Amino acid sequence: MIKLYEPKLYKEDIELVNKTLNDGWISGNSPIVEKFENKLKNFCQTKYCTVTSSGTTALHLSLLSSDIKKGDEVILPSLTYIATANAVNYIGAKPVFCDINLKFVKQLFVYVCSGLLFLSSCINDGNLDVSSVSPMIKIGHFDHDFFGMDSVNFDDDLLMLVKKYPDFFKMGFEKSVFKNRFFDTEIGELYDAVDSVFSSTKELDTELYRAFQYYYHHFKSHDSLKIYTWVSNFERLDPILVSENTLLISLDMYLGAESHFYKTAPDYIKQRFDKMYILSDLFRSYFSSNIPLSDNNSLLASMLYYGKIHYLISSMLPNYSSHIIMGYTIDKMQWCIRNEANIWAYFVENKLLFSSHQQNKMRFIEDAPFSKFYTSFDRESPGRIGQWVGMKIVEAYMNSHPDVTLIDLLKETDAQKILRESRYKPK
């Protein structure tokens, strides 16, 4: 049975409920509710958001906002729940039930099934038991410790910070720079925004630990890794910095696409400036830094190189949906799924797969607002479409070779062999 949703109640959730009750807030004006609304608004990329006490209340409110009045008729599906009719009755309107055309039901069924396949498309082995794996990682929050220092005893506190985070300062950061940053009011404002979005790092720490359980399981690694969060002040283009066995996460690059700090950033870039993309970005940077590029300069080789990386990410994050793995929005991912056969036909018919022209990589591999087919629907497509097709080929290859491990996959460098044995042919 495919689980559509499984509620997760963390200790933090329980603590927030208790805090709300202890503070005396039992109405919708609670600061915690307001904070949740802002986060949900940013996630849904909308201007406004308000939460209600129940689904029935939400339906009632939607009817009022649609100017439904007493005596109006509201058409409802006959297969429904009592709350939909109750909401209509509350404003004195008349619910009118109608049957659904059987043909439409069949079409809907196909659509829902396709959606379920989409949601599970990147779940390689979500049932894999890694609970006994103890990843050798150290997670530290440099940003919290840095901005928590005493301004009076700054120099002494900074020395303590250097001792606590030696690997951080080995990555080329000068101690002298940090004094200016500590007393910079604009950077302080940026940190306040980070602290608001990441008021607690428990969830992030838990997800990091879980993801690296998969990593250490698949790669049988014995290396120790250090993962630190910090506020970069947008000094680096990549939100994840990798140096040997140390990874830095720039939390100021994940404040939500609507943050005023990103107002000048292109939409196709800032859409990924949301904390839901942190782990996929982290593994993308880590794998890209440690997996050498193929000597083969063909478009297919580039597609499969990135396809392997995305497949590896999905293996570390088996319960993440495909659009997060790829760094797409849901709409862009759905466009890919709808047009998969046409995309593949375009590559084949135009003999692009074995071409080594750099221009083709710029069109289909490199980050961009859209991929360049030179057709009328270009702007509907996401960038890096070649990477996505590469992931689909790798998925097909691994499904056809259940005994092949991730290590084996990386060792296989024959792009044509992977394509041939994948039997990839979307319809």
- Least Cα distance to 384 among 299, 267, 278 occurs for 299
Q: What is the DSSP string of 191-225?
A: HHHHHHHTS--HHHHHHHHHHHHHHHHHH-----E
Residue 68's SS3 state is: coil
- For residue 191, pLDDT over 90 is answered with yes
**Residue 120: what pLDDT?**
42
pLDDT of residue 410: 96
The distance from CA 415 to its chain's CA centroid, rounded to whole angstroms, is 28
Q: With a cut of 90, say whether residue 416 has pLDDT above it.
A: yes
Does the pLDDT at position 7 exceed 80? no
- How far is 314 from 391, CA to CA, in rounded Å? 10
Q: What is the DSSP string of 16-68?
A: HHHHHHHTT--STT-HHHHHHHHHHHHHTT-S-----SSHHHHHHHHHHHTT-
**pLDDT tens-digit readout, 331-377:** 999 999 999 999 999 999 999 999 999 999 999 999 999 999 999 88
| pLDDT bracket for residue 207 (50, 70, 90) | very high
